[in-house]
């Protein structure tokens, strides 16, 4: 069931979202060649806990996967789309791109967002992938307002991506968020205008385009967590949590990216 959030709940969601944004802004300053994903994970968890929150992903369980997720963040490099496990053995290299997904829980309410960062100088194809994926998120957020539909959000992403010849991840989607990390509704990154659930003021949604430079087929790694492109092409992932209002949406995870 989709829940409309009350102001008392939004107080905690804004705090959870601000902590997520602070983590992503911090990570933008430490991503560089030679840094390990384990170092990024530890820095993120330290900031989250010092802010009085807990890492939402750490210990998260999914039916069918025997081991809970071990990291405070998801760290996915190059062909990895989402759910990459941080490790002290994974070192960033010049020219990589890395997606960092962060979730927090503050006083029982959640925040969730993601950015994909260039590691040093990246090639033109990777830079375009980042710019286009971020642009698709901005388009999706711009139509996330009361009276529009989930189909409008999906169409905003799909129609922005299609002219560039990139592929969309269709097996994974955005989601509602609130007192649970994942709540109804699912938010596909494709759709038809005017179709699907009508958005209402008070809904809180995590919108997250996942885009591939190549074909759209994906596979899951041996760890049963990381999702990767089958053809080895690069992937990018950007996400913001938003509050639906009658006018422009409120960004609950106000990270910055350059």
Domains of the chain: 7-251 (3.90.230.10)
pLDDT tier, 257 (very low <50, low <70, confident <90, very high otherwise): confident
CA-based torsion, 124, 126, 131, 135: positive or negative: positive
101 is in an annotated binding site: yes
Which helix H or strand E contains 5, and what residues bound it? none
User: In which residue are the tokens 């039916």 written?
Assistant: 63
Give the residue-averaged pLDDT of 240-255.
97
Give the residue-averaged pLDDT of 112-121.
98
175 is in an annotated binding site: yes
Q: What is the DSSP string of 63-130?
A: TT-SSPP--SEEEEETTEEE-PPP-TT-B--TT-EEEEEEEEEETTEEEEEEEEEE-SS--HHHHHHH
Each residue of 183-224: pLDDT tens digit? 999 999 999 999 999 999 999 999 999 999 999 999 999 999
Which helix H or strand E contains 53, and what residues bound it? none
Contact call for residues 79 and 125 (beta carbons, < 8 A) = no
Each residue of 55-72: pLDDT tens digit? 999 999 999 899 999 999
For 168, the 3-state DSSP assignment is strand
180 is in an annotated binding site: no
246 is in an annotated binding site: no
Measure the CA–CA gap between 189 and 211, rounded to whole angstroms.
9
**Does 185 sit behind a cis peptide bond, omega within 30 degrees of 0 on the bond before it?**
yes
Contact call for residues 87 and 99 (beta carbons, < 8 A) = no
Q: Which residues, at least 6 apart from 114, have a Cβ–Cβ distance to it below 8 Å?
A: 24, 74, 82, 99, 100, 101, 102, 208, 237, 238, 239
Query: What confidence score (pLDDT) does residue 258 get?
Result: 64
What pTM value is reported for the model?
0.96
pLDDT > 70? residue 156? yes
Query: What confidence score (pLDDT) does residue 229 get?
Result: 98
Give the residue-averaged pLDDT of 24-34.
97
The percentage of the chain sitting over the pLDDT mark of 90, rounded to a whole number, equals: 98
- Listed in order, strand segments (DSSP E) in 109-189 are 109-118, 167-168, 174-176, 183-187
pLDDT > 70? residue 129? yes
The percentage of the chain sitting over the pLDDT mark of 70, rounded to a whole number, equals: 100
Query: What confidence score (pLDDT) does residue 30 get?
Result: 96
Measure the CA–CA gap between 168 and 140, rounded to whole angstroms.
14
């Amino acid at each position: 069931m989709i829940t409309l959030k009350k102001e008392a709940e939004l107080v905690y969601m804004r705090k959870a979202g601000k902590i997520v944004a602070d983590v992503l802004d911090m990570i933008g300053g430490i991503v560089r060649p030679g840094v390990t994903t384990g170092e990024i994970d530890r820095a993120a968890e330290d900031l989250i806990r010092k802010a009085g929150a807990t890492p939402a992903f750490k210990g998260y369980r999914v039916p069918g996967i025997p081991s809970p997720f071990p990291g405070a963040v998801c760290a996915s490099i190059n062909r990895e789309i989402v759910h990459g496990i941080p490790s002290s053995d994974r070192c960033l290299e010049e020219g990589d791109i890395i997606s960092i997904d962060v979730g927090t829980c503050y006083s029982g309410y959640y925040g969730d967002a993601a950015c994909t960062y260039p590691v040093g100088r990246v090639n033109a194809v990777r830079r375009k992938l980042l710019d286009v994926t971020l642009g698709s998120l901005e388009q999706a957020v711009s139509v996330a307002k009361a009276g529009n539909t989930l189909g409008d959000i999906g169409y905003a992403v799909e129609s922005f991506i299609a002219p560039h010849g990139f592929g969309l991840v269709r097996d994974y989607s955005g989601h509602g968020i609130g007192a649970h990390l994942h709540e109804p509704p699912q938010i596909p990154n494709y759709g038809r205008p005017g179709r699907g659930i009508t958005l209402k003021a008070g809904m809180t949604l995590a919108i997250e385009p996942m885009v591939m430079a190549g074909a759209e087929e994906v596979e899951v790694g041996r760890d049963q967590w990381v999702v990767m492109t089958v053809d080895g092409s690069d992937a990018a992932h950007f996400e913001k949590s938003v509050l639906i209002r009658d006018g422009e949406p409120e960004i609950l995870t106000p990270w910055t990216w350059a």
